[in-house]
Structure 1
Amino acid sequence: MPSTRKMILNHVMSGICSKINRTKQLPSDVMETPLKRCLNTFDITLLGIGHMVGAGIYVLTGSVTKNIAGPGIIISFLLAGVASLLSALCYSEFGTRVPKAGSAYAYTYVSVGEFWAFVIGWNIILEHMIGAASVARAWSGYVNFLFDDAISNATLAATGEMHQVLLGKYPDFLAFLVCIVYASLLGFGVKGSAIFNSILTILNLAVMVLVISVGFYYSDITNWTASKGGFFPYGFGGVISGAATCFYAFVGFDSIATAGEEAKDPSFSIPVATISSMVVVTLGYILVCAALTLLVPFDSVNPNAALPEAFSGIGLHWVKYLVSIGAICGMTTTLVGSLFSLPRCMYAMAQDGLLFSFLGNVNSKTQVPLTNLVISGLLSALIALLFDLEKLVEFMSIGTLLAYTIVSASIIILRYKPTTEGFPRKPATSPSCSESSSSYSETPTPVLDFCPVPGTLKPQFGWLFPIFGMYKPGRVVTMSVFVFMVFSCALCFLLHGSLKNQTEDIWWIIVIATFFVTIMALSLIAIAAHHQNVTGLKFKVPLVPFLPALSIFCNLGFMVHLNVLTWIRFFIWMVLGMLVYFLYGIHHSKEGDTNSSYSMLMTSSEAVKEKWGATTKSKIKGTLTKRKGSGGDSRNAIIDEEELVQ
């Protein structure tokens, strides 16, 4: 009996492991979708710019300049932009591979596995929900400032103050109404929403050009000199802290990837739109911050409405009102971007069976997931009504950074996979390549001089064969990525702790940091020693694995700067997600029907793999040999059912 219970437990555990690690198999026609493919490259580029240029430039700029970095905010935005661009490149490559709604969720499902895909999808829902609520709060705060706090004073007089730590000072009914109105507008169809977004984004960019031009015309270079605090009044540490905060201003480029299922030509539009929007936004942020800090001393900047007050302070009141119009337009497009992406992520997860099936419905007339849009708008509106802006922004960052980290890791893993598992397969161009690709599982990581199989060692690294030769192609890369992430996280915590608690005896910190860096470097060398798979890619991330690895390190570095309360809230959100997944998603996954032992037995391309059902390759070969050696009727079955189930 104990052995029977052990066998049952092992069977259950192995079943769970196989379920959480299963990857999504895309259909042969990846362009087929119930959504409407009507967005061109220009539409998607403006969608990305509009989602990024909003609360970041009009809200964050003032507080970071005055309290964290000073004029050094220019470098902060540059560093945050470079770190975001690394993640954006990874999103671009995935966008050409998987032109589906869901963004990082869909990418992770195809390359890494179901469990991590659900984790990413669950956090993307959090990101866009809180992103919409935080921008609605900022929108309301800006309008309130223009009316000299009349809205907030009237609300406080009517409702009183909410004396709770996590809640805002007062219920923001204007932010609630803004979420409902814009969610309703998105329900009329994606093309109409894109046109509305494009008009507001162009107006916003025009206002930014005006700010830059007028700001430089009235600039005073002495505002950067030592007499007024210098360029780095808070030191370089302030610049790094400012970069971590400014990272929020670039959140939103993943909405470009979310639109992949509604793009006319996603393999071209997604990478072009992503890189173009990132360059435009980064350059715009840097120039606006330069104009602001040259216009007024950094300690005179109004943290709540930096740009309007700066121009008002030098007597240019007409510019103040134009900037306010641009701010409203910018925050509107950011809000639209979040409310556009959130229903589509929920739709993608529901289509895969990981969320409740009714969330996968698409309205036949507008070709928009209206049910998801209603739920998204109401939840975002409720959060905006009750919670404080600062708490919302910080809570949003952790889920976003986790998604960026796993996407960057997935790019490395997928680039070295021996076959494009999960992707539509194309006919091999030569018999030798086809044979070597289909039979990779029969030989452990060989060194190939002909038609190299992805995930195998390059000839010049043949001396590593005694170490890595026992593993299947691609397995060493996956393990190396995991080791790199673990030691990167450890190094980030070490550096963060040493900077926070500076001591004179830092030799031991240097020794430990050197050890961590050495392990990370060896992991990257182990990855680079293998052949890559770049077949059929119209856009490729350059310098793989080094650029994605740098993206992983930067994202983890930003994550360790978040406070403990943010991590606790994140843990609570993840517990809720695990309940949804293990009580519903794992049992209703659409991939569960395709991984049965029967279907694998009937599929000839899968029959050569080493692990399937309860029958191993060696048992099949033994049975074949036994049948071949024995006489008898040649019409008899090669493998009896009794032998299969032994």
Structure 2
Amino acid sequence: MWLQRLSRKKEAESTDLLSTNLKRCLTSFDVTLLGIGHMLGSGIYVVSPTTAKDVTGPAIIVSYLIAGVASLLAALAYADFGVRYPRSGSAYSYIYFSLGEFWAFYVGWNVVLENVLSTAACARACSAYIDSLTGYTIANSIELVFGKLPGGFWSETPDLLAFVILIGFVVFMTFGMRATSGLNNTLVCLNMIILGIVVAVGAYYADFGNWKYKPENPNFNASAQVNFVNGFLPYGWSGVFRASASCFFAYVGFDAIAAAGEEALNPQKSLPIATLSSMLIVTTVYVLVSGVMTLMIYFADISKTSGLPEAFAYHGAYWAQYIVSVGAIAGMSTVIMATVFAMARVCYAMADDGLLHEAFAIVQPRSQIPIVSMYFFGLLAAIIAMLLDIETIIEMLSIGTLMAYLLVACALLVSKYTPPEQTIDLQLESATAFPKVSDSPKLSQVIPRGGSLYKVARKPASNGHILKSHFAFVSKFLPQDYSQRFLVIVLLCVLVLSTVVACLMIQVTATSWAAIGWVAMALSLCTIVLCTFLLFAHELPENKSSAGHQYNMPLVPFLPVCSIVINTGLMMTLEIWTWLRLVAWVALGLLIYFSHGIRHSKLNHRS
């Protein structure tokens, strides 16, 4: 009974998919700029300076390329789901339709955490840029009044400006999506123009000598770095791959595109166009700007809080310093608005399904926005921005996003290779009566229709789980009543576990060349499992009902499997403290789900 409740799925009724309490007012152009605005700011102005200085050096451009490719694979899966299920919950809704309620809540809860932390990080970065324009007068004044915080993961001083900035944007967004979209479009265009100036002027000051090791620089000592390769790879390839996981923070913006499914005028058209175009534009800009920044100034001298302005100040281009600060403020503003937008929509979707308290599903009648979700989690993000250090926030960011990408790719394969169920409607005299049916349906619901009771029985499509001839022998080793869905889920679990084992073996042995044989064995194991899965999945009959839409993810199952392997591998590069923080947040989420969500889920009323 409990397992059935955890795995119950929402039914995709075509008449309900486009119905919404929110206002449909966004064009393809609006949705594209929403995604660009969400991505084009956090990576350049928050992640790049810190990562280039402490994790990768100039090789940050490689990290952005790796993260960009992995994010593009996830974005293709999001676009596929977005066309089929244009709902505001993004990954949460997609998994609810395909994997079931428990995993949907798990992903939705993690996405909420990511959005809260992302909003807080961007508010702190925006505050730092504004403060730099005043000569740090604001921070010094706050320190004089409130003193310093204890240290550790706390901020040195309470960032009241970040709190005010975030609350100000939340209040502005109360006026509705049209006003928010108009301001977002203006600021995104301004930010793009300024970044074009940054690339042009930065190329003028570029010095390829900054990509070489400088032993005289006191801020970096190669002998203290066991993974040092050269000036371009001062922290080695391990730093590049570790940074790739953090760089995912810069690409989470396409989640806002998916969250706009209920407010786009034509989601089947807008979501794929916006997803692909924004990903290509943003990846190009990240590579160009991060490359220019590390060419202008030696990576060890980059300022963590205001990397680009300080790089221009290093060359005496103070006029460019102020222009960059304006662009940073514009970029951070668009990220804050887009992240608050996505955060509120995911919370609204979860509350609308009954998994969070119904208050979070309250929509403001005039502007048609989920006002309670936006104010509650906006306030939480503002408090975090005021009290926590920005590096602590960034460290916690990527794991939830990677987990969502991983499960969306798994959900896509499950939905693509699960045959459609046939529906049998049987009129009943009472809700308890159920005549014998030769097809032995496994699931049933009792629903009222025009004064009569019907029991809706669902059974797998006939022969839907029969393997093609090349793998027919596998059936001998499986239970008689196995389903194709069961096979796909088991194979996905094996694939993820093999990738985890391979990554752990590589991490344990990579520091010793004597253990290169173990590394080769780990990679071989992962490759064999990967190829076997691809061959096996290719032999499975595909669910034809998932085709016929305006967009379908290409090269299935190859691209989703690559996405799973990459995301799993990047998750294994994260620090142990990041995992422990995730465990704490998930524990809180499970408490909410089992005390409230599982009992108040709207699917209870349909059972």
Match of 2:500 in 1: 489
From the superposition, tell whether residues 141 and 442 of structure 1 become closer, same or farther in structure 2 (CA, over 3 Å): closer
Does residue 490 of structure 2 align to residue 479 of structure 1? yes
From the superposition, tell whether residues 420 and 123 of structure 1 become closer, same or farther in structure 2 (CA, over 3 Å): farther
Q: Is the 8 A contact 2:45 2:125 kept in 1?
A: no
What is the number of equivalent residue pairs in this alignment?
556
From the superposition, tell whether residues 507 and 149 of structure 1 become closer, same or farther in structure 2 (CA, over 3 Å): same
Q: In the aligned structure 1, how far is the partner of 2:14 from the partner of 2:518?
A: 55
Larger radius of gyration: 1
From the superposition, tell whether residues 352 and 556 of structure 1 become closer, same or farther in structure 2 (CA, over 3 Å): same
Q: In the aligned structure 2, how far is the partner of 1:265 from the partner of 1:544?
A: 25
Does residue 408 of structure 2 align to residue 398 of structure 1? no
* Matches for 1:531-546 after TM superposition, within 5 Å: 531-533=541-543, 534-546=546-558
| Higher mean C-alpha displacement, 217-226 vs 243-252 | 217-226
Residues 487-510 of structure 1: CA deviation (Å, up to 9, x unaligned): 2222222222223x4362343443
Match of 2:24 in 1: 37
From the superposition, tell whether residues 293 and 505 of structure 1 become closer, same or farther in structure 2 (CA, over 3 Å): closer
Q: In the aligned structure 2, how far is the partner of 1:483 from the partner of 1:109?
A: 22
Q: In the aligned structure 1, how far is the partner of 2:407 from the partner of 2:422?
A: 18
2:582 aligned residue (560, 570, 592)? 570
Q: Is the 8 A contact 1:494 1:513 kept in 2?
A: no
- The one-letter amino acid paired with 1:491 is A
Does residue 265 of structure 2 align to residue 234 of structure 1? no
Q: TM-score, normalised by structure 1?
A: 0.82
Match of 1:201 in 2: 188
Match of 1:590 in 2: 602
Does residue 528 of structure 2 align to residue 518 of structure 1? yes
From the superposition, tell whether residues 241 and 318 of structure 1 become closer, same or farther in structure 2 (CA, over 3 Å): same
- The one-letter amino acid paired with 1:569 is R
Q: Is the 8 A contact 1:220 1:295 kept in 2?
A: yes
Gaps of 5+ in 1: 1-14, 423-437, 447-452, 596-646
Residues 320-348 of structure 1: CA deviation (Å, up to 9, x unaligned): 11111000000111111111111111110
Q: In the aligned structure 2, how far is the partner of 1:226 from the partner of 1:374?
A: 49
Q: In the aligned structure 2, how far is the partner of 1:574 from the partner of 1:439?
A: 33
Q: How far did residue 421 of structure 1 move? A: 9.0
Residues 112-167 of structure 1: CA deviation (Å, up to 9, x unaligned): 00000010111111111111111111111222222232222211111111114332
* Matches for 1:628-639 after TM superposition, within 5 Å: none
Give 3-state SS (helix, strand or coil) of 2:515's partner.
Answer: coil
Percent identical among aligned pairs is 39
Q: In the aligned structure 2, how far is the partner of 1:421 from the partner of 1:586?
A: 27
| Higher mean C-alpha displacement, 367-376 vs 143-152 | 143-152
Match of 1:551 in 2: 563
Does residue 133 of structure 2 align to residue 149 of structure 1? no
Q: In the aligned structure 1, how far is the partner of 2:585 from the partner of 2:12?
A: 29
Q: In the aligned structure 1, how far is the partner of 2:267 from the partner of 2:591?
A: 34
Q: How far did residue 468 of structure 1 move? A: 5.7
Q: In the aligned structure 1, how far is the partner of 2:458 from the partner of 2:9?
A: 20
Give 3-state SS (helix, strand or coil) of 1:366's partner.
Answer: coil
Q: How far did residue 73 of structure 1 move? A: 1.5
From the superposition, tell whether residues 174 and 193 of structure 1 become closer, same or farther in structure 2 (CA, over 3 Å): same
Q: How far did residue 312 of structure 1 move? A: 1.9
Match of 2:539 in 1: 529
Q: In the aligned structure 1, how far is the partner of 2:387 from the partner of 2:596?
A: 30
Q: How far did residue 290 of structure 1 move? A: 2.2
Q: How far did residue 540 of structure 1 move? A: 1.5
Q: Is the 8 A contact 2:56 2:234 kept in 1?
A: yes
Give 3-state SS (helix, strand or coil) of 2:312's partner.
Answer: helix
Match of 1:58 in 2: 45
Q: Is the 8 A contact 1:418 1:440 kept in 2?
A: no
Q: TM-score, normalised by structure 2?
A: 0.87
Q: How far did residue 23 of structure 1 move? A: 0.1
From the superposition, tell whether residues 405 and 308 of structure 1 become closer, same or farther in structure 2 (CA, over 3 Å): same
Q: Is the 8 A contact 2:509 2:518 kept in 1?
A: no
* Matches for 1:436-455 after TM superposition, within 5 Å: 441=460, 446=463, 453=464
* Matches for 1:303-318 after TM superposition, within 5 Å: 303-318=304-319
Q: In the aligned structure 2, how far is the partner of 1:185 from the partner of 1:420?
A: 46
Match of 2:4 in 1: 18
Match of 2:270 in 1: 269
Residues 301-360 of structure 1: CA deviation (Å, up to 9, x unaligned): 333322112222222221111111000000111111111111111110111111111211
Match of 2:509 in 1: 498
From the superposition, tell whether residues 208 and 412 of structure 1 become closer, same or farther in structure 2 (CA, over 3 Å): same
Q: In the aligned structure 1, how far is the partner of 2:422 from the partner of 2:568?
A: 28
Q: In the aligned structure 2, how far is the partner of 1:258 from the partner of 1:439?
A: 30
From the superposition, tell whether residues 190 and 556 of structure 1 become closer, same or farther in structure 2 (CA, over 3 Å): same
Q: In the aligned structure 2, how far is the partner of 1:227 from the partner of 1:400?
A: 36
Q: Is the 8 A contact 2:355 2:597 kept in 1?
A: yes
- The one-letter amino acid paired with 1:474 is R
Match of 1:636 in 2: none
Q: In the aligned structure 2, how far is the partner of 1:284 from the partner of 1:442?
A: 48
Residues 518-540 of structure 1: CA deviation (Å, up to 9, x unaligned): 23432332222112224222212
Q: In the aligned structure 1, how far is the partner of 2:529 from the partner of 2:107?
A: 27
| Higher mean C-alpha displacement, 43-52 vs 504-513 | 504-513
Q: In the aligned structure 2, how far is the partner of 1:313 from the partner of 1:142?
A: 17
- The one-letter amino acid paired with 1:25 is E
